[in-house]
């Protein structure tokens, strides 16, 4: 596996030098205090990411006020108590995207958040307490216990909430392959753990966050 310094040098060469590279990395350097997030904020982001998956993002943005009204400003308790009849009614609501299983996922994810709240106080506190060295474990938790939060949907959700996670874009995957970490897009548990170990090693070598490392990997090939 390549050392962080090799990856950094290649990215700097591609982007015109270290100052230019650092300017590009600055856009992902700031971190969010995820413990301060409300559960409504979390449910809203989960919903946005679920509905954006496989869809035109700008349509979801344009209809967002309709989503807020339809789902009671993402009040977690109210969304968790949506009846089957209410969910059916929402499939006819033209103010939102009328995708039945995605609509039902709002209730399922509200219940997921309530389960986490019961044990940790809030979903934000849960994320804040999750080890930085195991973001893959959090990906798998969202996939297992959330609704439609596997793969890139869950990763984008965590990133947009402010959690320190990489995004497996095409360029990041290409860089991971080039660095000798995996030989294809990591989907198996074995490959995901190999990728996690690589990020942990690069974090120790550089002192940088997972989001910075993710961006740096992408810049080293793209």
Tokens 């009040």 -> residue: 75
Distance separating alpha carbons of residues 183 and 193, to the nearest angstrom? 13
Helix, strand, coil percent content, the chain, rounded in steps of 5: 70, 0, 30
Neighbours of 192 (CB within 10 A): 18
DSSP label at 32?
-
Element (H, E) at 122: none
Q: How far apart are CA 150 and CA 143, in angstroms?
A: 4
Q: Can you give the pTM of this predicted structure?
A: 0.95
Domains assigned to the chain? 4-31+166-219 (no CATH), 34-161 (1.10.340.30)
Return per-residue pLDDT of the chain as tens, 222 residues: 999 999 999 999 999 999 999 999 998 988 889 999 999 999 999 999 999 999 999 999 999 999 999 999 999 999 999 999 999 999 999 999 999 999 999 999 999 999 999 999 999 999 999 998 999 999 999 999 999 999 999 999 999 999 999 999 999 999 999 999 999 999 999 999 999 999 999 999 999 999 999 999 999 998
Distances (CA, A) of 30 to 5, 37, 137, 147, 164: 22, 16, 23, 29, 10
């Amino acid at each position: 596996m390549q050392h962080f310094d090799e990856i950094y040098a290649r990215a700097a060469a591609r982007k015109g030098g270290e100052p230019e590279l650092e300017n590009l990395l600055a856009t992902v350097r700031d971190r969010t205090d995820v413990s301060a997030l409300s559960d409504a904020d979390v449910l809203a982001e989960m919903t946005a990411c679920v509905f954006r998956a496989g869809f035109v993002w700008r349509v979801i943005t344009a209809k967002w006020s309709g989503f807020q009204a339809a789902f009671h400003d993402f009040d977690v308790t109210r969304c968790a108590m949506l009846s089957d009849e209410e969910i059916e009614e929402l499939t006819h609501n033209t103010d939102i995207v009328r995708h039945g299983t995605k609509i039902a996922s709002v209730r399922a994810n509200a219940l997921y958040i309530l389960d986490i709240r019961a044990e940790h106080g809030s979903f934000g506190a849960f994320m804040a307490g999750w080890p930085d060295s195991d973001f893959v474990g959090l990906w798998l938790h969202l996939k297992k216990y959330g609704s439609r939060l596997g793969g890139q949907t869950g990763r984008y959700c965590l990133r947009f909430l402010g959690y320190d996670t990489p995004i497996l874009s095409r360029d990041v995957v290409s860089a991971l392959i080039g660095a000798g970490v995996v030989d294809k897009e990591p989907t198996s548990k074995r490959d995901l753990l190999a990728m996690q170990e690589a990020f942990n090693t690069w974090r120790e070598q550089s002192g940088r966050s997972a989001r910075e490392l993710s961006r740096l990997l992408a810049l080293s090939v793209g």
